[in-house]
Structure 1
Amino acid sequence: MEAGGIAEHGLLADGRTAALVDRSGSVNWWCPERFDAPSVFCRLLDVTGGHWWIRPTERSEVRRSYLPDTLVLRTVFRTAHGEVSVTDGLMLEHGARGHDIGLRSPGVLIRVVEGLSGTVPMEMSYCPRFEYGRRTSYLVWRDGELVATSGPTTLTMTSPVPLTCQGSEATARFTVGAGQRESFVLAYRPTFHEPVPAPVDGGDPLADTVEGWRSWAAHHDYQGRYPELVRHNALVLQGLTYGPSGAVVAAATTSLPEAIGGDRNYDYRYAWLRDFSLTLRALWVAACPTETNRLFSWVASAVGRIDGQPVPIMFGVEGERDLTERRIETLRGYADSRPVWVGNEAWRQRQLDVPGEVLDAAWRLREYLDPMPPEVRDLLRSLADQAAATWREPDAGMWEARDAARHYVSSKVGCWAALDRAVRFGDRLADAADLTGWAATRDEIRETVLRDGWNAKVGAYTGAFGSDQLDASVLLMPIVGIVPATDERMRATIRLVEERLSRGGLVRRWSEDPAGFTLCSFWLVQCLALAGERDRAAAMFENVAGVANDLGLLAEQVDPYTGEQLGNFPQAFSHIGLISAAWELTTARSEAVPTGGGS
C-alpha cells in the first residue's frame, strides 16, 4: 500500500513532535523524540519506510474530523457491514493544561477503535523502520508487550487483540461490533533510560489529552471575521510548537517536493526566526500572547551575542546552530522525488530581512514586553544595529536562493521595518543618539527602495534591484508599511502580480515557480484589502482558504491547475498567512489590539 497523497494526511501533535495519518488509517510519519529526530514511520517518503495501519478489510467510505478544539483525529469508515471509527492522538502528559501542554509529553501514540454499527472485520499492520528506514528490528514479546529496539530507540506496543509477528512486522485480523472499543498504545522511550509511565487506565485513554487541547483553545477568544478558521489555524500553529522552548517549526516534515520529480526538497523541521516572528504576530491576532517574554527570551538565548556577525536565521528546536545537511540514500522520496534531506544548509545563509521580522513582532506585542527583559532589550538593539550596518549588502533573500547573492527588495524592506520599529520603541530600547541614527538610516533605506526597486519598463517593483523579474515578496511593502497599498506604483505592482503570477488567487513567488505559494496568496489578499478592495479580497481569501484539505490543513504550495498540495506539510507559513489575512479583512489598518486576543 502506497502512502496517501500529501493532503490526504491529518496532523497529530503533542507539543514535542508530530505524526501524520492518512485517510486509509495509516500512520505514515512519526519522529517520536522531537520534530527533527529520526523517524520510526516514514512511509510518506518511501513505501519501505515504516507504517502502522488499522483499517477495515473491505471497501469503505471515509469521513474524518478533529474532535472540536483538539488535534485528536477521528476517522469513520462505513462499510457494507457497518461503521467503525479510529480515533488517533499523541498523548499529552496527564493533567497538562493551557500553556503547559507539550512541556513533558510522554511520547505515546494512542489509537482507539470503536464499533458504531453492525460488525466490521478489521486488519492491522505494524512495521516500524528506525532512522529513516535504515534500521529494522525484530519484534519481541516481553511481559505481555511487543517491544522493538534499534540502537537508542525503543517502541513498546500494547494490543487488545492477538498479534502475529514475522520478522519486523506484526499483523492482526479482528472484528469490531457496535459498542465495542479496543485501544492500541504505542510508547516511545530512549533505550537506555527508564520506561515512560503507562497511560492512565480508563475507558477512554485519550480523554485527558482531549481536555488538555481544549484547555489551550479556551484561552483564545478571537472575534473577528472567519472565527472558526482562525481558531483552527491557531491550533495547528500550536501543534507545530515545541513546548519546552516555544520554538515553532516551519513544518512537520522533510523533503516533500515543491514539484513532483523536482529536487527542491528541503527539511523544514527547524525553527526559522522569520517563521517564529510571524507566528507570534498571528497569535497576537488569534490567541493569547501572555508567554511573550518567555518566547522572546528563548530567541535571545538562541541568537546569543551577535557582535557584528550575521544574524542566525534558524535553529534546532532547542537552539542548536549547526544544521548541516545530509542526504538519506535509503529513501526514494515522495513520489520518487529525490533527494531526501536531513538538515538544512540555509542555516549558513545571510538573510537581511530577519531583524525586521523579529522587531515587528516585538512591536506588535510590546504591551506584553513590559517590563522588557534585559536580554530581550539587548537582542532588539543588536538587531537594529545590524540592520543599519548591513542593509546595503546583498543576501540570499527570504526564498533562500542558493546561487548568487542579490540586492533583494524584500530584504531592504525588512531592514527598514527593523529600524522603523526600533525607533517607535523610543527610550525603551535606546538613547536619543541611537534613535536619531536609526531614523536617518530608515529614511535612507526607504528612499533607496522606492527609487532602485522600481522598474519603469516592467511598471512594477521587482524582486531585486536592477531585475526585470516580478517577485511576490514585494507584496510585503504595504503590509509592513513602507509604502501604502493605495500608492500609484504599489497599486500597479499589485495588479501585475495578480495578472502575471496568480491563477484563481494562488500566487507563485516568481514566474518559473511551479505552483502557487500559499503564504503569497494570502499576502495578495492583504494587499487588496489595504487598497480598499475588501469585497474582492474576501472572495479571494475564501478561494485560497478553500484549497485546504478536509481537516483544514495547508501545505507550502498548491498546484493552481489540479489543486494538489505540494511541499512540506502542514506548513506554518500557510496557516500564519490565513490568520493574518482574516484579521486584515476584519478591520481597517490600525494599531488596535485584536478583539478578544489575550487572557
Structure 2
Amino acid sequence: MGADAGRGYAGRVAHPAISEYAYLSDCRSGALVTRDGSVDWWCPDRFDTPSVFSRLLDLEAGHWRLAPVATGRPGHRVERAYLPDTLVLRTVHHTPEGSVAVTDALAAEPGARGHELGMNSPAVLVRVVEGLSGRVPMALDFRPRPEYGLLTPYLHEEADGSVLADAGPVLLVLRAGGLPLRVDGDRVRHDFEMSAGQVVGLDLAYGRAYGSPPARLDPVTAVAETVRAWEAFRETHRYEGEYPDLVRRSATVLTGLTYARSGAVAAAATTSLPELPGGDRNYDYRYSWLRDFAMTMRALWVAACPSEASRLFAWAARSIGRVGSEPVPVLFGLEGERDVSEHECRYLTGYAGSRPVRTGNDAWRQRQLDVPGEVVAAVWRLRDHLGDRFDLELREMVLGLTEQVAATWHLPDQGMWETRDAERHYLSSKVLCWVTMDRAVQLAPRLGERADPRRWAGIRDEIRSTVLREGFDERVGAYTGAFGSPELDASALLLPVMRFLPATDPRMRATIEAVQRDLGTDSGLVRRWRTDPAGFLLCSFWLVECLVLAGERARARALFERVVGHANDVGLLSEQVDPVTGAQLGNTPQALSHIGLINAAWRLTDPADF
C-alpha cells in the first residue's frame, strides 16, 4: 500500500493516504471510506453534484465514522475486502476486546437485478455491524456538512430515534437500528458495545428539501439486496482471458463509475486530489471525457459488457448533438451538460493542503483535436453491433466530426494532457486526427451519400506523412510530444496502440525504448514527461501493450505485474503513483487506470483482437 500523506498543514493531523480509501457506488453516486471506518466523501444526488461529507478535502468538512473505539491503538488489526463481484465492502476489526465486522454499501433499489442496477438508486448509505467475538466498544461520529462543507445543518432528534439533518436543499435522515442517538451540538456521537452474534443496522438516507422524503430501508435487507443486484449484474458478463480476477475487479470499478441513468462513465469519483501533495494541479474528474471514449469502449467490450458500451455510445451521440464548426467539448456532465465551468472552493483547505479545491473543469472550453478521433474510433469498434446502415443521428455525427477534422487537423491545440498554456502541434492530437479519417474511410459504406472516402483518404495520407516527417526528432531519436520539441512524451506510445505504426517499425521501436529508459522508473511506472512528479498508470499500461506488439511478451508480462502491484488492498487504482514511496496520487478510483489494466490484460491474451 502507498505511504501516508504525511503530517497535515498547520500542525493538523494528516489526511489518510489516498490508498487508504475504499470505494462504494450505487451507479448514481460514489462514497469513499477509510480503513478506520470514516466515510469522508459522498455526493449522494449524483457523482458530480455537491458532497455532504468532504473530509477528503478538509478535515473539518464532514464525515461519518463508525468503528471500534480501539481503532489505531496497539492490538487493533483491520482486514477488509469487497464481497465477490460487488462494491459492497466488508471490514473486520480485530481488537483486544474481540472482533467486529462492518459491511458498507450504497444501497441498490430493492429488487434491482442485472442492468437495472443504479437506474433508480434510493440514495441510501447502509452500514451493518456484526459482533464476531467478545464485547467490542464501538464509536459513532456523524458530522454532515452539505454543499462541499459550506453548510452546517440543524440536527433534530426525531420521535422514532432517528436524527434529521436539515440544511439548504438537503435532507439527511440517520437511523441506527434502535440505538438511542443524541445530538451533540453540530454532530451526533454515540458509544455502544457489540457482543458476539449481535447485529445492528444503520442507514443514512438522502433527500431534497423540497422533494420526496428520503427513502426508508432495512439496512440488513438492503445489504443483501445490493449484493444480489451486483452479483446478477456480473453474472451477465464473461471474460475469458489472462488475469481474469484483476479484469473482473476493474470492470466492476468501471461499472461503479457509470451513471446508470445515462450510461456515462465518470473519469473518477473525486475532485481535487492532487498530482503532488501541496501542489495546485488539482482538478475535478467527476465528468465523462470523450477523449477516453475509444479506450473506455474497448475496455467495456473486452470485459464483455456490450450493453454498457452501447449505452455509453448513445449518451455520447446525444451529448454531442449536431456537429458544427465549433470544437466538440472534450468532456460533458453525466447527463450531457456542456457548461461545466470551473469554480474554486476557497474555504476548503484541500487534501494535504493542496489548493485550490475545484468543482467543474474548464477543459471543456479547450480545442483538443484528438476528441473526434476517439469518438469515430469508438463507432468503428462498435460497427457490427450498430448495423449495416447507421441511423440519421449517428450518420450525421460521424460525418460532422470527420469534416471538422478535415478542416482543422492542421491547427495547434491544447493536447490530450489538457495543458493550460499555449497551443501546440501535439503528436497525439495529429495521430488521432489520422484515426478519424482512417476509420471514417472504413465506415463510409454505412454513412450514406454524403460520405467522401476518396477525399478523406487523401487527407488521411497527408496527416500521416506530416506526422512521420515532423513528429520524429532526430536529436532524440524518437517521436516526441509535439512537433519541433525535443521533449519525450509517453503519449507517443499511442502510435502502435491506435494502429498508426507497428511497434516493430525501427523508429517506433526506438521510441518505445526511449520512453521506458527516460520516462520509466525503477518501480515500473512510466511518467508522462521528464518533469512529471509521478508515474501515470495509463501510460504504464500503454507501454505493456507496446511491448506485446513489439514481440516482447515476457517483458510486457513482467511490467504488467509490477504495475498492477500498485493497487491498494481492495484493488483500486488512482491516477498516478509516486515512484519512490509508492503512494497513490490524483483522483480515485481512476477510470483510465482500470481501463488501461483491462486493455493491457487483453493485449497479453490476444494481441490481434483490437
Q: How far apart, CA to CA, are the structure 1 residues paired with 2:558 and 2:140?
A: 44
The within-5 A match list for 1:498-577 is: 498-503=516-521, 504-577=523-596
SS at match of 2:183: strand
The residue number in structure 2 matching 1:183 is 201
Aligned residue runs from structure 1 range 116-127, under 5 A = 116-127=132-143
Report 1:25-424 matches (<5 A): 25-58=37-70, 59=73, 60-144=76-160, 145-160=162-177, 161-199=179-217, 201=218, 203-370=220-387, 372-424=390-442
Matches of 1:418 and 1:36 in 2, distance apart?
30
Would the alpha carbon gap of residues 53 and 202 (structure 1) be closer, same or farther in structure 2, given more than 3 Å must change?
closer
CA contact (8 A) 2:412 2:426 kept: yes
SS at match of 1:260: coil
How far apart in 2 are the matches of 1:198 and 1:55? 23
8 Å Cα contact 2:300/2:308 also seen in 1? no
Cα gap change, 1:203 to 1:352, in 2 (>3 Å): closer
Residues 433 and 284 of structure 1: is their aligned pair in 2 closer, same or farther, counting only changes over 3 Å? closer
Give the partner amino acid of 2:163.
L
Per-residue Cα deviation, 1:339-358 (whole angstroms, up to 9, x for no partner): 10111110100111111111
Contact 1:252 1:571 in 2 (8 A): yes
Amino acid at match of 1:302: S
Q: Which amino acid aligns with 2:122?
A: P
For the 8 Å contact 1:297–1:376, the answer to whether it is kept is no
Contact residue 129 and residue 200 of structure 2 kept, 8 A: yes
Task: Answer yes or no: is the 8 Å Cα contact 1:289–1:365 preserved in 2.
Answer: no
TM-score by length of 2: 0.95
Q: Deviations over 1:320-350 (max 9, x none)?
A: 1111111101110000111101111101001
Indicate how the Cα distance of structure 1 residues 547 and 432 shifts in structure 2: closer, same or farther if over 3 A, else same. same
CA distance in structure 2 between the partners assigned to 1:520 and 1:222 by the alignment? 23
Alpha-carbon contact 1:154-1:190 (below 8 Å) kept = yes
Give 1:390 shift.
Answer: 1.0
Q: What is the rounded CA distance, in whole Å, between the counterparts of 2:356 and 2:434 in structure 1? A: 37
Q: Is the 8 A contact 1:416 1:446 kept in 2?
A: yes
Q: CA deviation at 1:294?
A: 3.6
Report the Cα distance in structure 1 between the residues aligned to 2:476 and 2:293, rounded to whole angstroms. 34
Identical pairs, percent: 58
Residues 358 and 81 of structure 1: is their aligned pair in 2 closer, same or farther, counting only changes over 3 Å?
Answer: same
Contact 2:124 2:206 in 1 (8 A): yes
CA contact 1:381–1:430 (8 Å) conserved in 2: no
The one-letter amino acid paired with 1:440 is G
Cα distance, 1:296 vs. partner?
Answer: 2.1
**Aligned-residue offset at 1:197:** 3.2
> What is the deviation of 1:137?
1.1
Give the superposition deviation at 1:295. Answer: 2.9
Structure 2: which 5+ residue stretches go unaligned? 1-12
Amino acid at match of 2:98: G
Cα distance in 2, alignment partners of residues 291 and 39 from structure 1: 26
Aligned partners of 1:203 and 1:566: how far apart in 2? 35
Q: Are the aligned partners of 2:68 and 2:93 in contact in 1 as well (CA < 8 Å)?
A: yes
Task: Decide whether aligned partners of structure 1 residues 186 and 202 sit closer, same or farther in structure 2, where only a CA change above 3 A counts.
Answer: closer
- Partners of 1:4 and 1:23 within 8 A in 2: no
What SS does the aligned partner of 1:427 have? helix
2:22 is matched with 10
For 1:198 and 1:283, the matched residues in 2 are separated by: 34
Contact 2:126 2:219 in 1 (8 A): no
Residue identity in the other structure for 1:125? D
> How many Å apart are 1:196 and its aligned residue?
3.4
Q: Could you report, residue by residue, the CA deviation over 1:553-579 in whole angstroms, capped at 9, with x for unpaired residues? A: 011100011100000011111000000
Q: After the TM superposition, which of the residue ranges 299-308 and 288-297 deviates more from structure 2?
A: 288-297
8 Å contact from structure 2 (residues 23, 589) kept in 1: yes
Compared CA separation, residues 202 and 457, structure 1 to 2 (3 A): closer
Aligned pair in 2 of structure 1 residues 333, 268: CA closer, same or farther (>3 Å)? Answer: same
Q: After alignment, is 436-445 or 455-464 more displaced?
A: 436-445
Displacement after TM superposition at 1:134 (Å): 1.0
**C-alpha contact (below 8 Å) 1:486/1:531 kept by paired residues:** yes
What is the distance in 1 between the residues matched to 2:440 and 2:214? 47
What is residue 585 of structure 1 aligned with on the other side? 604
Q: CA deviation at 1:299?
A: 1.2
CA distance in 1, matches of 2:279, 2:312: 36
Q: Which amino acid aligns with 2:213?
A: P
Instruction: Please give the root-mean-square deviation of Cα atoms over the aligned residues, in Å.
Output: 1.3
Separation of aligned partners in 2, 1:118 and 1:291: 45
Q: Distance in 2 between the 1:526 and 1:433 partners?
A: 33
Q: CA deviation at 1:2?
A: 5.0
Q: Where has structure 1 moved over 6 Å in runs of 4 or more?
A: none
2:126 and 2:202 in contact (8 A); partners too: yes
TM-aligned CA distance change 1:433 to 1:109, over 3 Å? closer
What secondary structure sits across from 2:148 in the alignment? helix
Report how far residue 202 of structure 1 moved.
Answer: 7.5
CA deviation profile, 1:491-531 (whole Å, cap 9, x unmatched): 00000000000013200000110000010000000000100
Q: Is the Cα contact below 8 Å between 1:97 and 1:213 reproduced in 2?
A: yes
1:463–1:473 Cα contact (<8 Å) kept: yes
1:594 paired residue number = none
Alpha-carbon distance in 1 for matches of 2:538, 2:306: 22
Q: CA deviation at 1:377?
A: 2.0
- Answer whether contact 2:274 2:351 (CA < 8 A) is retained: yes
CA distance in 2, matches of 1:172, 1:285: 47
**Alpha-carbon shift at residue 590 of structure 1 (Å):** 3.6
Letter matched to residue 90 of structure 1: L
Please give the secondary structure, in 1, of the residue aligned with 2:140.
strand
Amino acid at match of 2:445: D
Q: Which runs of 5+ in 1 are unaligned?
A: 592-599
Contact 2:266 2:287 in 1 (8 A): yes
What residue in structure 1 maps to residue 6 of structure 2? none
Letter in 1 for 2:16: G
How many residues were matched structurally?
590
CA distance 1:531–1:493, shift in 2 (3 Å): same
CA distance in 1, matches of 2:393, 2:546: 35
